């Protein structure tokens, strides 16, 4: 910019000097040169109208209701947002709906509502907010609003139930409809709806399987998997679950206009496994990072997972006197076999470095990982390996898929855990303790999590009281005879 200004100044000065070389003093030449530079700068600036048009095309609108938080949210909007309001399509238009199919784009969807390539170009070239239309996914919806003349006046792209984009047609200010260069323009608006959040409680006792217990409690499948992930550092859900184990949890449900549209986070939970209670509560720290902790403030996330895969069933436990299923001889089984469908993702049990990744006749495809100085984990009979020797891996990173390579009678993962080179039972080995929450966060942690744990306890108490209450005997005869 400084280089451009310098060049313009030199050019203008020489112009005036050539024009009036002897008629004006030097100081007058300098003054007239400065005036010329100022006029050039003012002419280069966009008009208020043009600036307003550019800003209008980049508006992102966020919906908020009339709640007390509305004013606060309005003050927190970025400088690009000029208004905070609920944006709705025009009800005076005639609307046609199209569902995005596999392989669809605007060029294939527009002709289905009698619109052409020119309409697509007008929309896509009007606003930068048209970019989301390039990334449409099957199942999403496009809504077309036509005016009385049969022209496209509005288009709404429904990305999710909570997020959509509304494009409204405006008349061109530089031409009229009768001129050949006339084209429609659209203003894009980003609409984000805030759902109503309700806290829900569920509990169940395991009689047959964890999944069936969740179904009896009407707990969604995704939440039972999340529950297993939360307690997965303490409980091996593939091996340690017993009849009589139980769980209870509170979680968020999302509603929009009275209709449930999905589930949110698990807020607090308890899992009782073989008589031992494990509790967890969700906490979002002052930096906005959310994680699960014990009520005392210890992270649920530990150095190692108890099981390195999503659970289904176990075919063999840790046993130093097990008869080998192929060789029919007593051979030490220094690990745990996890039977699951072929291709099931296998996780790294903890952070570490891959020290071996290869194939052998006995082990099939295998991966060995070193975790610091003391711990080593081994994964055998993989279908495919996803990591290479020397590669660093993170906990829960997929390192391979379950298979039946090597000496294996069926698809399963053979998992070993070594401490200082000695095989230990992965189910019962003592693992490094979890880190406590930062002392600076402790008071804030207690303030936010104690009400959540108290609510869980309150629900559990009410449930136990309901179970203990005697059921009225409706078959008893009345004493008034």
Number of Cβ atoms within 10 Å of the Cβ of 319: 14
- Which of the four CATH numbers 3.40.50.970, 2.70.70.10, 3.40.50.300, 3.90.220.20 does domain 313-424 have? 2.70.70.10
Q: Cα separation of 354 and 388, whole Å?
A: 7
Q: Report CA Rg, the chain.
A: 34
The confidence score (pLDDT) of residue 317 equals 46
Token reading at 456: 């869980």
The torsion angle over the Cα atoms of residues 377, 382, 388 and 392, rounded to 10 degrees, is: -40
Of the candidates 316, 313, 193, 267, the one whose C-alpha atom is nearest the C-alpha of residue 454 is: 267
pLDDT of residue 472: 57
Q: In whole angstroms, give the CA distance from residue 326 to residue 317.
A: 17
C-alpha distances out from residue 378 to 30, 232, 365, 433, Å: 82, 19, 11, 22
Determine the Cα–Cα distance for residues 250 and 217; give it in Å rounded to an integer: 12
Cα angle 9-10-11, degrees, rounded to a multiple of 5: 95
**C-beta atoms surrounding 103 within 10 Å:** 7
Domain 56-192 fold: Nuclear Transport Factor 2; Chain: A, (3.10.450)
pLDDT confidence of residue 276: 95
Domain 56-192 shares a fold with domain 313-424: no
Into which CATH architecture does domain 200-293 fall?
Answer: Roll (3.10)
- Among candidate residues 293, 307, 302, the one with its CA nearest the CA of residue 434: 302
Instruction: State the pLDDT at residue 375.
Output: 95
- Domain ranges for the chain: 2-44, 56-192, 200-293, 313-424
Collapse the DSSP code of 336 into the 3-class scheme (helix H, G, I; strand E, B; otherwise coil) and give the result: strand
Low-confidence ranges of the chain (pLDDT < 70): 1-88, 171-183, 311-333, 470-481
Q: What is the pLDDT of residues 256-294, one digit of tens each?
A: 988 999 999 999 999 999 999 999 999 999 999 999 999
Tens digit of pLDDT for each residue in 316-365? 444 444 444 444 443 445 788 888 889 999 999 999 999 999 999 999 99
Q: Which pTM does this prediction carry?
A: 0.64
Q: pLDDT value at position 171?
A: 67
Distance CA 338, CA 413 (A): 5
């Amino acid at each position: 910019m400084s280089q451009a200004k310098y060049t313009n100044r030199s050019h203008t000065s020489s112009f005036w000097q050539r024009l009036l070389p002897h008629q004006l003093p030097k100081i007058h030449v300098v003054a007239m040169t400065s005036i010329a530079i100022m006029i050039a700068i003012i002419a280069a600036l966009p008009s208020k109208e043009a600036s307003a048009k550019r800003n209008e095309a980049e508006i992102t609108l966020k919906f908020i209701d009339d709640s007390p938080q509305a004013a606060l949210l309005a003050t927190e909007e970025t400088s690009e947002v000029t208004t905070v309001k609920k944006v709705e399509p025009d009800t005076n238009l005639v609307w046609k709906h199209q569902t995005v199919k596999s392989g669809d784009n605007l060029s294939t969807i527009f002709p289905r509502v009698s619109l052409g390539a020119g309409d697509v170009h007008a929309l896509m070239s009007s606003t930068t907010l048209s970019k989301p239309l390039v990334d449409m996914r099957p199942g999403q919806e496009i809504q077309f609003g036509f005016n009385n003349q049969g022209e496209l006046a509005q288009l709404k792209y429904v990305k999710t139930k909570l997020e959509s984009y509304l494009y409204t047609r405006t008349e061109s200010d530089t031409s009229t409809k009768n001129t050949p260069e006339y084209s429609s323009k659209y203003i894009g608006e980003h609409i984000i709806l805030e759902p109503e959040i309700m806290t829900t409680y569920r509990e169940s006792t395991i009689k047959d399987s964890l999944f069936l217990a969740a179904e009896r409690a009407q707990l969604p499948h995704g939440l039972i998997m999340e529950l297993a992930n939360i307690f997965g550092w303490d409980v091996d859900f593939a091996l340690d679950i017993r009849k009589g184990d139980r769980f209870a949890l509170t979680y968020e449900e999302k509603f929009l206009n009275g209709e449930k549209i999905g589930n949110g986070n698990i807020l607090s939970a308890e899992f009782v496994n073989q008589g031992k209670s494990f509790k967890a509560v969700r906490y979002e720290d002052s930096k906005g990072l959310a994680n699960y902790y014990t009520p005392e403030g210890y992270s649920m996330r530990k150095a190692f997972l108890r099981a390195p895969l999503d659970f289904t069933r176990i075919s063999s436990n840790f046993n130093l006197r097990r008869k080998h299923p192929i060789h029919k001889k007593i051979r030490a089984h220094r690990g745990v076999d996890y039977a699951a469908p072929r291709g099931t993702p296998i996780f790294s049990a903890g952070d570490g470095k891959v020290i071996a990744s290869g194939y052998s006749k006995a082990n099939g495809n295998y991966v060995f990982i070193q975790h610091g100085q003391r711990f080593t984990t081994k994964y055998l009979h993989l279908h495919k390996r996803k990591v290479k020797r020397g590669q660093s891996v993170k906990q829960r990173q997929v390192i391979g898929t379950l298979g039946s390579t090597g000496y294996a009678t069926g698809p399963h993962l053979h998992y070993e855990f070594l401490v200082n080179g000695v095989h230990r039972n992965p189910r019962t080995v003592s693992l490094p303790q979890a880190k406590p929450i930062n002392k600076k966060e402790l008071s804030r942690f207690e303030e936010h999590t104690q009400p959540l744990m108290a609510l869980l306890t309150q629900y559990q108490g009410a449930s136990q009281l309901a179970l203990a209450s005697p059921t009225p005997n409706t078959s008893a005869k009345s004493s008034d005879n």
